[in-house]
Amino acid sequence: MRKAKPSEIIKHDAEINQAAHALKAMAHPLRLKTLCVLGNKELSVQEIVNAVGTSQSNISQHLAILRDKGVLHARRDANRVYYRIGDRRTLKLIELMRDVFCDAD
């Protein structure tokens, strides 16, 4: 298998900018934890608050950042808002980070 040259990994400036914005949004520990909690699931804000262990106002601010950067999708059902990871590739990236940074269980 031939390794890609650095200039071949991401070719277009728009793709580089998109990746940089998404990574910047994910770089905060609470936002990364939120993404890890979500995984393949769709959860309400309250379920995320319970799993992450912070206030609703705090998590709502972080969810807004992830949503605005296109990392999360939101769905409203009556008075509840549900979030899910918007792109399967983001989940693959989180899994890769786990493989690189976390001890094997």
**Structural domain of residue 43, as residue ranges?**
13-101
Domain membership flag for residue 37: yes
Q: Bigger pLDDT: 34 or 8? A: 34
Please give the model's pTM, rounded to 2 decimal places.
0.82
Domain membership flag for residue 76: yes
- SS3 assignment, position 54: coil
CATH number for the domain spanning 31: value is: 1.10.10.10
Structure tokens at 8: 């071949």
Domain membership flag for residue 5: no
Domain membership flag for residue 88: yes
User: What is the rounded average pLDDT for all residues in the chain?
Assistant: 88
Q: What is the distance between the alpha carbons of residues 105 and 103, in angstroms, rounded to a whole number? A: 6
Structure tokens at 19: 């990746």
Domain membership flag for residue 91: yes
Domain membership flag for residue 46: yes
Q: What is the pLDDT of residue 10?
A: 77
Total number of domains constituting the chain: 1
Domain membership flag for residue 57: yes
Structure tokens at 79: 């008075």
Domain membership flag for residue 4: no
Cα–Cα–Cα angle for 61, 50, 39, rounded to 5 degrees: 80
- The pLDDT tens digits for 52-85 are 999 999 999 999 999 998 899 999 999 999 999 9
Contact in structure between 59 and 40 (CB atoms under 8 Å): no
